[in-house]
Amino acid sequence: MEHPLPECPIARFLTVLDGPWATLIVRELLTGPKRFTELRAALPGISPKTLSSRLRRFVLIGLVTRTAYPEVPPRVEYRLTPAGTRLQVVFDAMAAWAEQDLPRTGSARGADR
Amino acid sequence: MEHPLPECPIARFLTVLDGPWATLIVRELLTGPKRFTELRAALPGISPKTLSSRLRRFVLIGLVTRTAYPEVPPRVEYRLTPAGTRLQVVFDAMAAWAEQDLPRTGSARGADR
């Protein structure tokens, strides 16, 4: 990276998981290594261009590895590194908050409690 | 909300904190109630329009309250509800991950461990 990342760890975190697609890609990879086509199928609406640029960036910063298997047809797999896998704690906290405070009806349950 | 939110809690979470500005606004409010001008000053680059639309949305879903004090000049304060305050756990997890795995140099430290 040309310039250092922000000092604030939350701002730094947001340079990696900066929006829904990046977060949803990691959510899928947290369930195990995936091929490009598997990721596309799991994330309806994502464009191949967005998916490949996000994956390229994740590989660049060491969050994901890309493994090409010498098979015919060629098989390419994306897998979280140990650093990527440690994001599980963040995802568990996100899910727990949403389960408790954001029911499917859309209003934060604990607005008054 | 017209239609129910996604079933997946992570996807639901992302309907609230769907990007950097939303996340950074909550980061500021987690340090205590703030006025509009204080939030703008703390978030260089955010436009008044983005800030007010995010805050309006947070109030709509019960994450934030807006209190107008009958003073001259009028004073308006934004404050997290109990549900909003419970996001602290998620922010602590984000910060801990970034401190451990995303140093300011920009590459995930634990890429190989």
Domain ranges, ordered by start, for chain A = 9-102
pLDDT one-digit tens code per residue, A39-77: 999 999 999 999 999 999 999 999 999 999 988 888 899
**Rg for chain A (alpha carbons), in Å?**
16
Identity of the residue in A5, A19, A101 whose CB atom sits nearest the CB atom of B104: A5
How would CATH label the architecture of B9-103? Orthogonal Bundle (1.10)
What is the pLDDT, as a whole number, of residue B113?
A: 43
Using DSSP's 3-state secondary structure scheme, residue B66 falls into: strand
Helix (H) or strand (E) holding A83: helix A82-85
pLDDT one-digit tens code per residue, B88-100: 999 999 999 999 9
Higher pLDDT, A104 or A13: A13
What is each CA distance from B94 to A2, A14, A31, B103, in whole angstroms? 23, 9, 19, 13
Q: Which of A50, A39, A49 is nearest to A79 (CA)?
A: A39
ipTM of the prediction: 0.88
> How far is C-alpha B104 from the chain's CA centre?
22
Question: Does residue A111 surpass a pLDDT of 70?
Answer: no
Question: Does residue A109 surpass a pLDDT of 90?
Answer: no
CB B18 within 8 A of CB A22: no
CB pair distance less than 8 Å for A9 and B99: yes
CB pair distance less than 8 Å for A98 and B9: yes
Q: Per residue of chain B (113 residues), what is the pLDDT tens digit?
A: 456 788 899 999 999 999 899 999 999 999 999 999 999 999 999 999 999 999 999 999 999 999 999 888 888 999 999 999 999 999 999 999 999 999 877 566 544 44
CATH class label, A9-102:
mainly alpha
Q: Name residue, tokens 């896998």.
A: A85
d(CA B26, CA A35): 35
